[in-house]
A and B are shown apart, each in its own frame.
Chain A
């Protein structure tokens, strides 16, 4: 009788070991371990055995059932794993193919540079204020200490809309507007578009963008200007950057300088600067014995060109996507 159990067990183990699919395995499981089937069917023959043999018989069936259940589980895991391996293999892609492109919107490089500059100057305590691009003549010239009809204006050929309104030639125009309203100390910056009558080439344009920065406080000196420019330039161009002054003339500063930075082994002119002209401070009732201030300006395009190697000013307003997408 026990031979029958062994026979069934052996047959089942052989079939389990060679089952090739989960379905086949389940069929084997049903055949040998299903209710009233296989070993369970044998269980019913226990009644025909002598009483003393019954417990041993039952135990042997239980052992065989446990052994088969375990073998099925092991085989199931193996088959599932094999199926997964197969599925993964069939799903394999050429991952070296290019991806599906997503549409990316970018800001204009001038916006990016402007925001970099705003970040640095905001951190240094400068408050940004906006002024009009279509500006009154007096703010563009008279309030900036330009003598009436002075040759200095020859460098500022302007676009006029009326006798009194012109497109600002410099963002410095904001200084008069601010000083008419505020008392020192203040630190102000402005950024925006300026216009000058120029023939267009790789380094000149009738439309360009400028930052103007100025502060008034007690005992502000050229050394403070140099230190501020140094800190600003190092934030924009890196820790190794040096700043150098050269005398220059702008009617709204005295002393007036042109400043350059030493960057990657070259001196590069960046803009004009100086101490705010005492005539301007006095005109707004600021006591020049107590207060002094500095101002500096720089071109946004210039900063971007230096940092990225762009060599033609005209590219910024052309908006060729092949250019814009590089930034």
Chain B
């Protein structure tokens, strides 16, 4: 809100040190965002928090300044109108919806002459950010800015039967508002009507047909109190936001209703308009009782932690804000004005005492007493362990968007598994990521096109969402997932080009998955070819992708090459390898405890076998053959070579397997080792149809 200091000084004699006032107000709770200049001097741009509707006026801000500086406040005091009078003989106000309109006051002025406002009034409006329109509208706006009470002027002669009815709109009614728009009304909206039709949207905007024009001579001035929620909902439903609705939403003082209309009449007279008719029609069926809140001084000291606050100090602070205070031993009985609906609890008053006394007086202490043990969450610890392993193998962590557009990982743009954002205004953020892979691909593409970086090793851990079909309904489920991307040269390239750079391939990305699983001490996992599941993974190369099975209870992870169909759009020079593992599965099988195993003191014996198998034979079959042989003292074994081509027969390949024998009890004899090798050989022949060349 724009607050010209010249205007404020009409109510409180604050020294005109703009910078000092801005600082004091900010530290008192009204944040001055910037200071501007105007024809009438400095203007403060003050941010008013949503709870302080009372400060959406010059008088409201002046009251704060008076309290903070401990200066007297001089509010405007227009001549008070009396209920009835001549006004009551010419018009009436009927409130049919007192729940939405607790108070409505109207006064009449006859013989007005529409023209420009005087210079001083126009300048104050301009400095406060309002465009002058004509003397009548300007005065209503001026009073709204001055007192915070929105007013509305009707052309009295256009009101059917010259009377006001405050009611809910009827279904099917419409109203052309001042901005020329035709508004369709519903029975939830409060309107000001005459005898026949709605003439204004209560608290939001007036109607065009009853608008004050150059021909207007008689006006009815409205000053009313509307239910904040009702105004807010009507304005939002119709997509409107006006100075009036903004204030009504934040609660306007119901006690100030008549003063505002009286003030407007006073100002109109002051600028040369006719005197208003005597009397006011003020319908206020159920006036609010003054609120009295008890404040214990002891509790004020306890909660603020300022030991030197006494009953006298607290009383002084509250009185400076214009509250009534009666002291009774250690308790203050505080009468809060209706303009402060935000104050209902003892704690609310403690805040008022604290901020007027000054938060700079709060000392620093530390809580004493028993406490819970501090530390990271189980999830946080687990994610950090994953980060530690993946950064150790050279992957860079990225953190990308949860809100994403549909991607190639959604089968259709409306993939039912994708959790859509209902009120997304942009395609780019119209749903939640179901997987980290599109984000990783986007990061890779961006680094390639922007920074020429075609070699990348990336990972992301974090939440993903997907709709799961639970009880015949799509229910969004939040999951944790880890994913990685590998493309281009596996090692950083320097000037020493002593060998051809290694490019990322399936083995490299599978190796990373294996390091991750080993690091998390996952003992039993299998990777199986995609096979007939390839339809479920259309983004992956059907022959270069494996599913990662960790546990039967969870969906598998996936590791493989991006389908060449999608590769060109990624604008990366090399093949792209991806993996993703759901963390619920990983968390279920990972072990955090580590157990020591003694290393054998006895020597090892290493022996090789070179089975020849058909080219279609998978390593998994070889693995199964070796494992099922169940050879004792076989400490470990590994594949050291795969060869196909001449001189091997067409359709075959030769593997070299290296077996390491070791016993914890003693040195193995040649016979023991030989027996083990024979068992392995037999198992490979039987299970993998291997042949051995003599």
Contacts from A to B (Cβ < 8 Å): 97-108, 110-111, 115, 118, 121-130, 132-134, 148-152, 154-155, 159-162, 165, 167, 185-188, 191, 193, 195, 197, 206-207, 215, 217-224, 226-228, 230-231, 243-249, 251, 254-258, 275, 277-279, 292, 316-322, 324-325
Contacts and interface: CB of A to CB of B under 8 A. Distances in A.
B371 A187 contact: yes
A203 to B, nearest CB: 14
A103 B491 contact: yes
Contacts of A223: 304-306, 362-365
A115 B397 CA distance: 14
Interface stretch (B110-118, B492-500, B567-575, B628-636): B492-500
Contact of B399 (A152, A161, A317): A317
A223 B362 CA distance: 6
Contact of A151 (B50, B348, B403, B457): B50
A222 B305 contact: yes
A222 B493 CA distance: 56
A127 B425 CA distance: 38
Given A128-B375, A246-B26, A226 B396 contact: no
A98 B494 contact: yes
A319 B446 contact: yes
B362 A149 contact: no
Contacts of A104: 391, 394
A215 B491 CA distance: 48
Interface string B167-179: 0000000000000
Given A108-B399, A223-B304, 13 more contacts: A102-B394, A127-B377, A151-B232, A154-B50, A165-B476, A167-B421, A222-B306, A224-B366, A245-B362, A246-B359, A249-B52, A255-B304, A258-B31
Contacts of B456: 321
Interface string B259-275: 00000000000000000
B446 A318 contact: yes
Interface stretch (B186-194, B379-387, B556-564): B379-387
B393 interface: yes
Contact of B374 (A100, A124, A321): A124
Given A98-B495, A275-B303, A160 B421 contact: yes
B401 interface: yes
B465 interface: yes
A150 B50 contact: yes
Contacts of A254: 345, 347-348, 350-351
A119 B403 CA distance: 29
Nearest to A188: B372
Contacts of B394: 102-105
Count class of interface residues, chain B = 35 or more
Of the listed residues A102, A222, A246, A279, the one surrounded by the most CB atoms of chain B closer than 10 A to its CB is A222
Contacts of B27: 246-247
B478 interface: yes
B370 interface: yes
Contact of B463 (A133, A151, A251): A133
Nearest to B377: A128
B396 A149 contact: no
B421 A161 contact: yes
B432 interface: yes
B310 interface: no
Given A115-B384, A254-B345, A246 B402 contact: no
Contacts of A125: 371-374
B355 interface: yes
B391 to A, nearest CB: 3
Interface stretch (B144-152, B408-416, B447-455, B592-600): B447-455
Contacts of B423: 159-160, 197
Given A106-B391, A160-B421, A220 B26 contact: no
Contacts of A97: 495
B233 interface: yes
A222 B304 contact: yes
Given A97-B495, A246-B26, A226 B476 contact: no
Contacts of A118: 376, 380
Contacts of A325: 396
B365 A224 contact: yes
A277 to B, nearest CB: 7
A102 B492 contact: yes
A34 to B, nearest CB: 42
Contacts of A101: 491-494
Contacts of B446: 318-320
A255 B429 CA distance: 36
B401 A248 contact: no
Contact of A215 (B31, B367, B458): B367
Contact of A134 (B355, B400, B465): B465
Interface string B342-359: 000101101100110001
22 contacts: A106-B391, A111-B399, A125-B373, A125-B374, A130-B377, A151-B250, A152-B50, A152-B51, A159-B421, A187-B371, A193-B462, A224-B305, A224-B366, A228-B367, A243-B364, A254-B348, A254-B351, A255-B303, A258-B31, A275-B303, A277-B347, A320-B450
A205 to B, nearest CB: 10
Given A254-B348, A316-B399, A248 B494 contact: no
Nearest to B352: A255
B565 interface: no
Nearest to A254: B347
B31 A185 contact: no
B457 A103 contact: yes
Contacts of A224: 305, 365-367
B667 interface: no
